[in-house]
Structure 1
Amino acid sequence: MAFSIDSRFSFAADQPTDVLLQFEAAAIPEQVLSEVATDLSEADHVGRVAAQDGIGERIWIRAEGTFEVVHRARVELRRLITPLESLPQLDPHLLPGEAVEYLLDSRYCPADRFQSFVGEEFGSLRGGAAALAMRDWIAHHFTYTPGSSGPNTTALDSFVERHGVCRDYAHVLVTFARAAGIPARYVSCYAPRVTPQDFHAVAELFLADPSVPGGGAWHLLDATGMADPHEIVKIGVGRDAADVSFLTSFGPTRFLAKTVSVIAL
């Protein structure tokens, strides 16, 4: 399945400011990119660095004044999808090093605070069955409400208020999974059926791989129900939204505009 992506945003800085960007479709084996073009305004410095877990790249810029970003790409997905229902989870002491940090609390995902709730609500389930039950619980109890949360909203805030956007849904699912002993990471992505269209966020859970003794693999899961794993184009992954924001400013900036278009071909 192939997709056409066109994303654009702009911001302004009144003085030279360092800004970290992550907005490009990631060039990884499950995503074949072609017709890629990224256009950036003039800047004092532009430099690329590897992103978390080797998925995608971040771009450092140092700029002053109005700065514009345009990214276009054609992406063909070659992702193998495994049904989650029967996938077991790995006990913590059997996890590989790459997965361990995704069991721990992070800025927006205080998993320790949810252990009692998750044990009571989902304690009879494990692995993929538990993950699907968590997704369904969030879908049933939350209302998708654009503008209802902000950059400081945590999974605990969202759990109390029972509304949010994709970022909040992903944080809650990641938090539930970690509280159940399942490594979970936050995924920034593009997807065609997101409404309103924007940068999207889903969760990715590390579950046992029955075909590899003692092995495991990451599996995408969207609590909003708007993105199917067959249609998700990854930008990057991290512990939570703080690791994969499309724009992180290390000084005062003013956000000006943003448009995102994702079309299935």
Structure 2
Amino acid sequence: MKLRTRAELVYRFDPPTDAIYKIQAAHWPGQHIVEETLTFDPPVEFQEDEDAEFGARTLRCHLSGEVTLTYEAVVENGQLLGLPPQVSQHDWGDLPAEILPYLSPSRYCPSDQFGRFVTRAFGDTAGGARVIAILDWISANIDYEHGVSDTETTAARTFIDRAGVCRDFTHLGMTLCRASGIPARAVSAYAHQLEPPDFHAIFEVWLDNGWWLVDPTRLAPVEGLVRIACGRDAADIAFLTTQGRCELVRQTVTVEPA
């Protein structure tokens, strides 16, 4: 599917601070960037880096005052498929070494606290069927609601509050998958048909010797996703990270068929 993405981020940096952006489409197998442009207003000197493992790109810069960053791209995202229930789960001894970190608890995903719960709630399932059962449970029990969570909210807090936004749904889904022995990692993406349009947090699971993308909010079809970055949780995929404080002026994200 060919998609046109656009993001305009207007923030005020006062006092001046160092910043890292992750908003560019990743160089990822099966995802082809047909064309793209990136501009800062006023012009800013920046350094661009690319992660060798994930193809995710970061922009590092020192910012002062009101700064507008605009990114536009046309991306062919290939043939993304939904997760089938029959895909199998691996024994840990059969997993590639690079997959093992995504079994462990992380800052926002205390999966070591949920072993008893997943056994009681999903004990009769495994593999793709277990992941789908987890997504069904989240859909039935967690409300999509702004203002309940913040940047410090963990999956354990979301489990108690029973509400949150996409990053909270993703952290809880990943936590329950890891507690089930299924590797899971966070993904940031542009998402076609997401309402309201925004950067979207989803996750992927390792089953049948491959990664499968899933959207725990069920707000955007998998075939309309454009990958930006991935990592152990939201700390690795944030679209903007600053050393000091910054103030949002306005922000718009759009994704349309190209």
TM-score computed with the length of structure 2 as normaliser: 0.95
Question: Where in structure 1 do 4 or more consecutive aligned residues deviate above 3 Å?
Answer: 41-45
Deviations 1:63-114 (A, max 9, x none): 2111211011111121353642111111112211221111111111000011
CA contact 1:43–1:61 (8 Å) conserved in 2: no
* Residue identity matched to 1:200: H
Correspondence for 1:30: 30
Correspondence for 2:161: 161
Correspondence for 1:219: 212
- How far apart in 2 are the matches of 1:52 and 1:252? 30
CA contact 1:118–1:180 (8 Å) conserved in 2: yes
CA contact 2:83–2:212 (8 Å) conserved in 1: no
After superposition, the Cα gap between the structure-2 partners of 1:201 and 1:250, relative to the gap in structure 1 and judged at 3 Å, is same
Task: Check if 1:191 corresponds to 2:184.
Answer: no
User: Which stretches in structure 2 are left out of the alignment for 5+ residues?
Assistant: none
Aligned pairs (5 A) from 1:195-206: 195-206=195-206
Correspondence for 1:231: 224
Correspondence for 1:242: 235
- How far apart in 2 are the matches of 1:202 and 1:16? 32
- How far apart in 1 are the matches of 2:69 and 2:203? 26
Deviations 1:95-137 (A, max 9, x none): 1122111111111100001111011111111111100000011
Correspondence for 1:104: 104
CA contact 1:51–1:236 (8 Å) conserved in 2: no
Correspondence for 2:175: 175
Deviations 1:143-181 (A, max 9, x none): 111232111111111111111111111111000000000
* Residue identity matched to 1:150: D
1:258 to 246, 251, 256: 251
After superposition, the Cα gap between the structure-2 partners of 1:72 and 1:43, relative to the gap in structure 1 and judged at 3 Å, is closer
- How far apart in 1 are the matches of 2:198 and 2:99? 28
- How far apart in 2 are the matches of 1:258 and 1:82? 30
SS in 2 for 1:53: coil
* Residue identity matched to 1:199: F
CA contact 1:52–1:238 (8 Å) conserved in 2: no
Task: Check if 1:72 corresponds to 2:65.
Answer: no
Deviations 1:213-236 (A, max 9, x none): xxx110001111112221111111
User: Which stretches in structure 1 are left out of the alignment for 5+ residues?
Assistant: 209-215
Correspondence for 1:211: none
The count of aligned residue pairs is 258
